[in-house]
Amino acid sequence: MTRSRESRILILDAAERLFAERGFDATPTGAIADLAGVPKGLLFYYFPSKTDLLRALMGERLDLDPIDTSALIAEGDPAQSLLNVTGRLRELQGESAVRRVIVWREHRTHPEVRARLRDYRSQLQAIVERVLGASILHPIAARRVRIAAEAWVAIITTPTLAALSADEELEAGDELAGPADAADLPALADLISAGLREPAA
Protein backbone atom coordinates (compact mmCIF):
# COMPACT_ATOMS: atom_id res chain seq x y z
CA MET A 1 0.00 0.00 0.00
CA THR A 2 1.35 3.42 -0.92
CA ARG A 3 1.93 6.00 1.79
CA SER A 4 -0.73 8.30 0.33
CA ARG A 5 -3.31 5.49 0.27
CA GLU A 6 -2.38 4.58 3.85
CA SER A 7 -2.85 8.18 4.99
CA ARG A 8 -6.24 8.37 3.31
CA ILE A 9 -7.37 5.16 5.05
CA LEU A 10 -6.11 6.45 8.41
CA ILE A 11 -8.20 9.60 7.91
CA LEU A 12 -11.31 7.60 7.00
CA ASP A 13 -10.79 5.27 9.98
CA ALA A 14 -10.45 8.21 12.34
CA ALA A 15 -13.51 9.95 10.89
CA GLU A 16 -15.56 6.76 11.18
CA ARG A 17 -14.63 6.35 14.83
CA LEU A 18 -15.23 9.98 15.79
CA PHE A 19 -18.45 10.41 13.80
CA ALA A 20 -19.78 7.28 15.51
CA GLU A 21 -18.73 8.50 18.97
CA ARG A 22 -19.58 12.20 18.71
CA GLY A 23 -21.71 12.69 15.61
CA PHE A 24 -20.72 14.47 12.42
CA ASP A 25 -21.52 18.02 13.52
CA ALA A 26 -19.74 17.69 16.88
CA THR A 27 -16.51 16.38 15.35
CA PRO A 28 -13.94 19.00 14.31
CA THR A 29 -11.63 18.17 11.43
CA GLY A 30 -8.67 18.86 13.70
CA ALA A 31 -9.71 15.98 15.95
CA ILE A 32 -9.89 13.68 12.92
CA ALA A 33 -6.42 14.72 11.77
CA ASP A 34 -5.03 14.27 15.29
CA LEU A 35 -6.50 10.78 15.66
CA ALA A 36 -5.29 9.80 12.19
CA GLY A 37 -1.82 11.16 12.99
CA VAL A 38 -1.70 13.31 9.88
CA PRO A 39 -1.36 17.07 9.32
CA LYS A 40 -4.69 18.87 8.96
CA GLY A 41 -3.61 20.08 5.52
CA LEU A 42 -3.30 16.48 4.33
CA LEU A 43 -6.85 15.79 5.47
CA PHE A 44 -8.06 18.72 3.34
CA TYR A 45 -5.91 17.53 0.43
CA TYR A 46 -7.91 14.29 0.29
CA PHE A 47 -11.21 15.71 1.51
CA PRO A 48 -11.68 19.44 0.78
CA SER A 49 -14.60 19.61 3.22
CA LYS A 50 -15.91 17.59 6.13
CA THR A 51 -18.95 16.77 3.98
CA ASP A 52 -16.62 15.26 1.36
CA LEU A 53 -15.21 13.07 4.12
CA LEU A 54 -18.71 11.94 5.14
CA ARG A 55 -19.59 11.29 1.50
CA ALA A 56 -16.45 9.17 1.06
CA LEU A 57 -17.27 7.13 4.17
CA MET A 58 -20.79 6.48 2.91
CA GLY A 59 -19.62 5.64 -0.59
CA GLU A 60 -16.79 3.34 0.39
CA ARG A 61 -17.98 1.71 3.61
CA LEU A 62 -21.70 1.27 3.07
CA ASP A 63 -21.59 -1.29 0.31
CA LEU A 64 -22.99 -4.81 -0.01
CA ASP A 65 -21.32 -5.93 -3.25
CA PRO A 66 -19.00 -8.49 -1.64
CA ILE A 67 -21.88 -10.56 -0.15
CA ASP A 68 -21.86 -14.15 -1.45
CA THR A 69 -25.56 -14.89 -1.81
CA SER A 70 -25.06 -18.59 -2.58
CA ALA A 71 -24.03 -19.16 1.04
CA LEU A 72 -27.29 -17.59 2.26
CA ILE A 73 -29.75 -19.70 0.28
CA ALA A 74 -31.63 -22.40 2.19
CA GLU A 75 -33.33 -24.35 -0.61
CA GLY A 76 -36.99 -24.88 0.09
CA ASP A 77 -36.88 -22.65 3.18
CA PRO A 78 -37.44 -18.97 2.32
CA ALA A 79 -37.86 -18.02 6.00
CA GLN A 80 -34.41 -19.39 6.87
CA SER A 81 -33.00 -17.67 3.80
CA LEU A 82 -34.33 -14.32 5.06
CA LEU A 83 -32.77 -14.99 8.45
CA ASN A 84 -29.48 -15.91 6.77
CA VAL A 85 -29.41 -12.57 4.93
CA THR A 86 -30.13 -10.76 8.19
CA GLY A 87 -27.41 -12.66 10.03
CA ARG A 88 -24.86 -11.72 7.39
CA LEU A 89 -25.99 -8.11 7.45
CA ARG A 90 -25.56 -7.98 11.23
CA GLU A 91 -22.05 -9.42 10.89
CA LEU A 92 -21.22 -6.61 8.47
CA GLN A 93 -22.78 -4.02 10.80
CA GLY A 94 -20.66 -5.34 13.65
CA GLU A 95 -17.55 -4.66 11.57
CA SER A 96 -18.52 -1.11 10.60
CA ALA A 97 -19.60 1.93 12.58
CA VAL A 98 -20.79 3.40 9.27
CA ARG A 99 -23.39 0.63 8.94
CA ARG A 100 -24.15 0.32 12.64
CA VAL A 101 -24.41 3.95 13.80
CA ILE A 102 -23.39 6.75 11.45
CA VAL A 103 -25.80 6.21 8.57
CA TRP A 104 -28.78 6.04 10.93
CA ARG A 105 -27.75 9.08 12.96
CA GLU A 106 -26.87 11.33 10.03
CA HIS A 107 -29.48 10.43 7.40
CA ARG A 108 -32.02 12.89 8.80
CA THR A 109 -29.78 15.93 8.42
CA HIS A 110 -27.43 15.12 5.54
CA PRO A 111 -28.89 14.61 2.04
CA GLU A 112 -25.79 12.74 0.84
CA VAL A 113 -26.29 10.17 3.59
CA ARG A 114 -29.99 9.81 2.75
CA ALA A 115 -29.11 9.25 -0.90
CA ARG A 116 -26.52 6.63 -0.02
CA LEU A 117 -28.96 4.92 2.35
CA ARG A 118 -31.46 4.64 -0.53
CA ASP A 119 -28.75 3.02 -2.66
CA TYR A 120 -27.85 0.68 0.21
CA ARG A 121 -31.47 -0.40 0.61
CA SER A 122 -31.72 -0.98 -3.15
CA GLN A 123 -28.61 -3.18 -3.00
CA LEU A 124 -30.07 -5.07 -0.08
CA GLN A 125 -33.39 -5.43 -1.89
CA ALA A 126 -31.63 -7.05 -4.86
CA ILE A 127 -29.76 -9.44 -2.55
CA VAL A 128 -32.92 -10.47 -0.69
CA GLU A 129 -34.77 -11.01 -3.98
CA ARG A 130 -31.95 -13.23 -5.31
CA VAL A 131 -31.78 -15.27 -2.14
CA LEU A 132 -35.56 -15.63 -1.85
CA GLY A 133 -35.98 -16.52 -5.52
CA ALA A 134 -33.33 -19.23 -5.28
CA SER A 135 -34.82 -20.68 -2.08
CA ILE A 136 -38.31 -21.18 -3.53
CA LEU A 137 -38.59 -24.54 -5.30
CA HIS A 138 -41.89 -23.96 -7.13
CA PRO A 139 -42.77 -21.46 -9.87
CA ILE A 140 -43.67 -18.07 -8.43
CA ALA A 141 -44.36 -14.62 -9.84
CA ALA A 142 -41.39 -12.27 -9.61
CA ARG A 143 -43.75 -9.60 -8.24
CA ARG A 144 -44.53 -11.71 -5.16
CA VAL A 145 -40.84 -12.24 -4.49
CA ARG A 146 -40.17 -8.52 -4.93
CA ILE A 147 -42.95 -7.53 -2.49
CA ALA A 148 -41.74 -10.07 0.09
CA ALA A 149 -38.19 -8.75 -0.27
CA GLU A 150 -39.39 -5.15 0.13
CA ALA A 151 -41.21 -6.10 3.33
CA TRP A 152 -38.13 -7.82 4.74
CA VAL A 153 -35.83 -4.93 3.87
CA ALA A 154 -38.24 -2.56 5.65
CA ILE A 155 -38.21 -4.79 8.73
CA ILE A 156 -34.44 -5.04 8.99
CA THR A 157 -33.45 -1.51 7.97
CA THR A 158 -35.99 0.81 9.56
CA PRO A 159 -34.01 2.41 12.38
CA THR A 160 -35.47 2.43 15.86
CA LEU A 161 -34.03 2.90 19.29
CA ALA A 162 -36.89 2.56 21.73
CA ALA A 163 -39.07 4.41 19.22
CA LEU A 164 -36.42 7.08 18.66
CA SER A 165 -38.14 10.33 17.75
CA ALA A 166 -36.84 12.73 15.14
CA ASP A 167 -35.53 15.19 17.73
CA GLU A 168 -33.65 12.71 19.92
CA GLU A 169 -29.92 12.27 19.53
CA LEU A 170 -27.95 9.05 19.69
CA GLU A 171 -25.50 8.85 22.54
CA ALA A 172 -22.04 7.34 22.13
CA GLY A 173 -22.37 3.58 21.99
CA ASP A 174 -26.05 3.60 21.00
CA GLU A 175 -26.88 1.45 18.04
CA LEU A 176 -29.91 1.35 15.81
CA ALA A 177 -31.57 -1.81 14.62
CA GLY A 178 -34.71 -2.84 12.81
CA PRO A 179 -38.07 -2.44 14.51
CA ALA A 180 -38.22 -6.09 15.51
CA ASP A 181 -36.35 -7.65 18.37
CA ALA A 182 -34.03 -10.42 17.16
CA ALA A 183 -36.28 -12.93 18.93
CA ASP A 184 -39.21 -11.78 16.74
CA LEU A 185 -37.40 -12.18 13.44
CA PRO A 186 -38.10 -15.92 12.94
CA ALA A 187 -41.84 -15.32 13.35
CA LEU A 188 -41.73 -12.37 10.96
CA ALA A 189 -39.74 -14.42 8.43
CA ASP A 190 -42.37 -17.18 8.67
CA LEU A 191 -45.13 -14.63 8.16
CA ILE A 192 -43.52 -13.20 5.04
CA SER A 193 -42.67 -16.65 3.70
CA ALA A 194 -46.29 -17.77 4.11
CA GLY A 195 -47.18 -15.51 1.19
CA LEU A 196 -44.64 -17.32 -0.99
CA ARG A 197 -45.98 -20.84 -0.52
CA GLU A 198 -47.16 -22.83 -3.49
CA PRO A 199 -50.92 -22.49 -3.87
CA ALA A 200 -52.88 -25.60 -2.95
CA ALA A 201 -53.92 -27.66 -5.99
Residue 33 to residues 9, 69, 113, 180, Cα–Cα distance (Å) = 12, 38, 22, 38
Q: CATH 1.10.10.60 spans which residues of the chain? A: 3-61
Q: CATH assignment of 3-61?
A: 1.10.10.60
pLDDT digits (tens, 9 = 90+) for 146-183: 999 999 999 988 765 433 443 344 444 444 444 456 77
pLDDT digits (tens, 9 = 90+) for 20-31: 999 999 999 999
Neighbouring C-beta atoms of residue 129, cutoff 10 Å: 20
Q: Give residue 159's pLDDT.
A: 64
pTM for the full predicted model: 0.80
Distance CA 30, CA 8 (A): 15
Bigger pLDDT: 167 or 85? Answer: 85
pLDDT digits (tens, 9 = 90+) for 121-155: 999 999 999 999 999 999 999 999 999 999 999 99
